[in-house]
A and B are shown apart, each in its own frame.
Chain A
Amino acid sequence: MKLSKIEDKLAVNKYDIDKERHIRIKEDICVQCEDHPCTYVCPADCFKIREGHITLSYEGCLECGSCRIVCDKDGVEYALPRAGFGICYQYG
């Protein structure tokens, strides 16, 4: 079992990636946030801090909804991916 990094694990999953992003972050809110809980709770590591800013890559999202629940500043605009898109579990 050599895969321990999240990005390697996500590469095994099946996705139908939408061109349209289903999660957005509200920059003006995120700039003021100090704790960045989204960066820890996202199991797909979608939220990263780069040069003091939060960046979001929605492609590997597992659609668990943790980011939305954990952000108490409403900085995460989370909608479900359009029907048929997103993660497609083969095992579950």
Chain B
Amino acid sequence: MNQKFDAVIVGAGPAGCACGIVLAKAGLETLIVERGKFAGAKNMWGGAFYGPSLSELFPNFWDEAPVERYISRHKFSLLSKDAAFSADFTTKKFGEPPYNGFSLLRSKFDRWFASKAEQAGAVVATGLEAEDLLWEGNAVAGIKAGGDELPANVVIACDGVNSILAEKAGLRGKISPRDIKQGVKEVIQLPRQIIEQRFNLQGEEGTAWEFIGSFSRGLPGGAFIYTNQENLSVGVVVQLDKLAEKEVSANDLLEDFKRHPEVANLLAEGQLMEYSAHLVPVGGKAMMPGLYTDGMLVAGDAAGLTLSTGLVLEGANFAIASGKAAAETVIRAKKRGDFSKKSLSHYPQLLKQSFVLKDLTSFEKAPSLLENPRFYSQYPEMVCELAEKVFTSDGLPRKKLWSMLRESQRGKISFWRLLRDLLRIKRSL
């Protein structure tokens, strides 16, 4: 029989590392199991990280964590086939500590985060896969990993969107493809000066740029470009069930996006360094599995804790916050010597008090709103067409804005439908 841990955490991503750090700092015997050769080897994200959840653990983390650039410029573009209508926001304020957000690459970031967990006193075992749960009656009592039995008072499943452990514990059934977005991403290398010239950046400044429009062929989804120090993260995120329904691959959409004239110039002469794919749980509160049972908690993507509002697609901040809440629950349970379901029910209470469940509740209606195909085809086209009319000087008498708007809208969408969509946006976002 192996040594019994207070807690075994499965997955050394943001949720698992945050959880491990809090537990180890409180003096609990903590093991983090990671199936990748190193933390981050199996992970990908878009690449922009916001929110205060990490600086609560490590004030001034940006001084030591491998951040690429701080986000000083936010851009949002609506693309039609050959036009782009963009909003661009920049402020020097985002360039001062505590900064608003960063571009980051998982392979470096997760390794740093896992090393912090080790420093705090947790054991991090990489290259080790949690194959199954150990049971004592109806209670989870540890994991089976690498052919060994690793007993623990509590197992915290931070094993990502495909959480096999949450399924094995009976906390959730099969995921619906409607609740999932697939992200595919390329890391494209360019010289530092070229990136700074093309994106109008200085020093460590960075851009987070989101796009919706024709490239997604009406499928609910969008694209992004994030600037890193010497490469760009370029990708599309699209609803999984629609890919199958419309019989297209996300790579086709990514290629269309990269060929758009507004985008192609930014990527010209770049070299592909990596092609990756990852899933995002976007079903919101409705898809959330059971979060706890006797001897077990679920955190991060495994618990479906991401926020998708169309303008925001945020997971890491929620992962870190839920990992910390799970740790606090386990510390409390250890003091009481009670790891039962009843004792662990403290966890959802903590999540309800924090932004994690508050945000998911506020935006409960967002997932169904975002399935509206008009956001991804008719509206971007309409806006680009209207802008073209406003800026065209062709010697003909000019029309007033309102009549141009009506012209651009006609044939694409009825006026009442437009009004109804606006009302739904008001209610959902």
Measured CB to CB, the residues of A under 8 A from B are 1, 3-4, 6, 9-10, 12-13, 16, 35, 37, 40-45, 62-66, 68-70, 80, 82-84, 86-92
Contact = CB atoms under 8 A, between A and B. Distances in A.
Nearest to B246: A40
B35 A10 contact: no
Contact of A4 (B41, B109, B255, B273): B255
Q: Label chain A's interface by main secondary structure.
A: loop
Contacts of A44: 277
Contacts of B264: 1
B58 interface: no
A65 to B, nearest CB: 4
Contact of A43 (B109, B180, B184, B272): B184
* Interface core residue of B127, B250, B274 (most chain A CB under 10 Å): B274
Contact of A65 (B40, B107, B161, B231): B161
Contact of A88 (B36, B164, B180, B267): B36
B129 A70 contact: no
A12 B279 contact: no
Interface stretch (B42-50, B343-351, B360-368): B42-50
Given A10-B275, A43-B277, A92-B45, A84 B105 contact: no
Contacts of B188: 1
Given A12-B274, A13-B276, A66-B279, 20 more contacts: A1-B267, A1-B272, A3-B272, A16-B37, A41-B243, A43-B182, A43-B249, A62-B278, A63-B42, A64-B278, A64-B279, A65-B161, A70-B244, A80-B35, A80-B129, A83-B128, A86-B42, A89-B107, A92-B43, A92-B109
B147 to A, nearest CB: 11
B274 A89 contact: yes
B244 A84 contact: no
Contacts of A6: 249, 251, 275
A44 to B, nearest CB: 7
A69 B161 CA distance: 11
B1 to A, nearest CB: 22
27 contacts: A1-B264, A1-B267, A1-B268, A9-B186, A9-B251, A12-B273, A35-B244, A40-B247, A40-B248, A40-B249, A41-B249, A41-B250, A43-B249, A66-B277, A69-B240, A70-B243, A80-B129, A83-B129, A88-B36, A89-B42, A90-B107, A90-B274, A91-B273, A92-B40, A92-B44, A92-B110, A92-B276
B146 A43 contact: no
Nearest to B264: A1
B277 A64 contact: yes
Contacts of A70: 177, 240-241, 243-244
B144 to A, nearest CB: 12
B313 interface: no
B40 A89 contact: yes
Contacts, number: 134
A5 B155 CA distance: 42
A40 B243 contact: yes
Interface centre among B164, B243, B258 (most CB of A within 10 A): B243
B24 interface: no
Contact of A91 (B42, B107, B184, B240): B107
B286 interface: no
A68 B240 CA distance: 12
A68 B267 CA distance: 33
Nearest to B129: A83
Interface in B177-203: 177, 180, 182, 184, 186-188
Given A43-B182, A70-B177, A84-B37, A92 B249 contact: no
A87 B240 contact: no
Contacts of A43: 182, 184, 249-251, 277
B272 A88 contact: no
Nearest to B145: A83
Given A37-B244, A44-B277, A1 B258 contact: yes
Given A1-B272, A12-B275, A92-B106, A69 B42 contact: no
Given A43-B184, A80-B35, A83-B127, A89 B277 contact: no
B98 interface: no
B390 interface: no
Nearest to B228: A91
Interface string B205-247: 0000000000000000000000000010000000011011001
Nearest to B164: A80
A32 to B, nearest CB: 17
B67 to A, nearest CB: 14
Contacts of A92: 40-41, 43-45, 105-110, 274, 276
